[in-house]
Amino acid sequence: MPDPRFFEDLGPVALGELAGLTGAAPLAPEGAGRRVSRVAVLAHAGPDSITFLADRKYASALASVRAAACFLPTGSEALAPEGCVVLSVANPHAAYALAAQRLHRPREGGGERVAADARLEAGVVLGSGAVVGPGAQIGRNTRIGANAVIGAGVAIGRDCDIGPNVTIGFALVGDRVRILAGARIGEPGFGATVGPKGLIDIPQLGRVIIQDAVSIGANTTVDRGAYDDTVIGENTKIDNLVQIAHNVRVGRNCVMAAHTGISGSVVIGDGAQFGGRAGVADHVNIGAGARVGAAAGVMKDIPAGETWGGMPARPIRNWLKETAWLARMANRRGGQTA
């Protein structure tokens, strides 16, 4: 469920109310009166939650969950397991987003510079204009730069260096972490779907977990998870102007050069390396020790230990051979290609 340090629960709510809110087909009285306390994706659904299924290929996963209710596409009601109340809608993902907005709300800071219930250990240094939100915790000898904002519930470990104008929200940060000026940690990831009146944002209910000894460069962004957490592994080093999207899991001792862009739900193994301006499509797996060349565009999984380059990215030797062949063809007298 959403971490209560970062999200306020607004439930429980009767399913009849959610049916009206999302445009679902009317429910029988016994279903309409049933109450739920949270939204959850299939992997985390429980008896107090409402989930959704937008793609039939995940129907087997739905059969094994014990959610109280589920948003299903109209005509797919038979897919629901026994005891699960079905809310039939045209777009289950949009219905889930509307239900999430009704059941959960991000916690906000108060008007104080340092909230009364924030906990700062000995040796913490706050720069001019720095703000520390309600329930936040900052460990011994950590330095917070000028005009940095530490959001409600955030926990930062010991001996960290947080630069000026950094914002950190919805995040748990380990010891000896270095975050340079202007970085944005824990902003909502990009997600939208078509609702009854046009596009609606999908609430991002996860967190950011930054493990010990991570370095994050200036103006880099690390988005919080949509459903699960975004995780940056121990001792990983991230350059300036890098984008890491929601639900990404970065292993230990990875390196990312400037302008690298990692799309949502990518999994990166330990020791992977990324050249400048490398880009990775969503839901791709990068194996441990893999290397991605500068400006490469990764569209599919890279096995552990391999080096890839080009657009679309492929094994580096293949890319270099193809590039050399194209150069020879382009330079042939008369422009002949055969």
What pLDDT shows up at residue 210? 98
Least Cα distance to 173 among 190, 189, 186 occurs for 186
Residues whose CB falls within 8 Å of the CB of residue 176, separated by 6 or more in sequence, listed in order: 157, 158, 159, 160, 212, 213
Residues of the chain by 3-state class (helix, strand, coil), percent to 5: 15, 30, 55
d(CA 2, CA 5) in angstroms, rounded, equals 9
Structure tokens at 94: 């949009």
- Taking alpha carbons only, the member of 69, 99, 73 closest to residue 88 is 73
Q: Please tell me the predicted confidence (pLDDT) of residue 333.
A: 57
Q: Do residues 286 and 301 lie in contact, with contact meaning Cβ atoms separated by under 8 Å? A: yes
Q: How far apart are CA 51 and CA 37, in angstroms?
A: 11
C-alpha to C-alpha distances, 79 to 48, 57, 214, 318, nearest whole angstrom: 19, 11, 44, 46
Q: Is the dihedral of CA 97, 103, 106, 111 positive or negative?
A: positive
What integer pLDDT is reported at residue 226 of this predicted model? Answer: 93
- CATH 3.40.1390.10-classified regions of the chain: 7-106
CA–CA separation, 267 vs 248, rounded Å?
6
Fold observed for domain 7-106 = 3.40.1390
Say if pTM beats, i.e. exceeds, 0.95.
no
Q: What is the pLDDT along the chain (338 residues), one digit of tens a residue?
A: 799 999 999 999 999 999 999 999 989 998 999 999 999 999 899 999 999 998 888 888 888 889 999 999 999 899 999 999 999 999 999 999 999 999 999 998 878 899 999 999 999 999 999 999 999 999 999 999 999 999 999 999 999 999 999 999 999 999 999 999 999 999 999 999 998 889 999 999 999 999 999 999 999 999 999 989 999 999 999 999 999 999 999 999 999 999 999 999 999 999 999 999 999 999 999 999 999 999 999 999 999 999 999 999 999 999 889 888 888 888 885 555 44
Rg (CA), the chain: 23
- Residues of the chain within CATH 2.160.10.10 domain(s) are 170-318
User: Which residue among the candidates 104, 246, 259, 283 is catalytic per the annotation?
Assistant: 246
Looking at the domain covering 170-318, what would its CATH class be? Answer: mainly beta
Is 245 in contact with 190 (CB distance < 8 Å)? Answer: yes
Q: What are the residues whose beta carbons fall under 8 Å from the beta carbon of 285, sequence distance 6 or more?
A: 266, 267, 269, 301, 302
Return the pLDDT at 335. 54
| Token pair belonging to 117 | 């219930």
User: Is residue 44 annotated as a catalytic residue, yes or no?
Assistant: no
Distance CA 20, CA 28 (A): 13
CB atoms within 10 A of CB 44: 15
Predicted confidence at residue 195, as pLDDT, reads 85
Report the distance separating Cα 45 and Cα 70, nearest Å: 10
Query: Dmax over Cα atoms in the chain, in whole Å?
Result: 81
Q: Please state whether beta strands 7-9 and 104-106 pair in parallel, antiparallel, or not at all (unpaired).
A: antiparallel
The one-letter amino acid code at 138 reads I
| Residues ≥6 apart with Cβ < 8 Å to 161 | 142, 143, 177, 178, 179
Q: Got the DSSP string for 46-73?
A: -TTEEEE---GGGHHHHHT---SEEEEE
Return the exposure string of 45-54: e unless at least 16 CB atoms fall within 10 Å of the residue's CB, then b.
beeebbbbbb
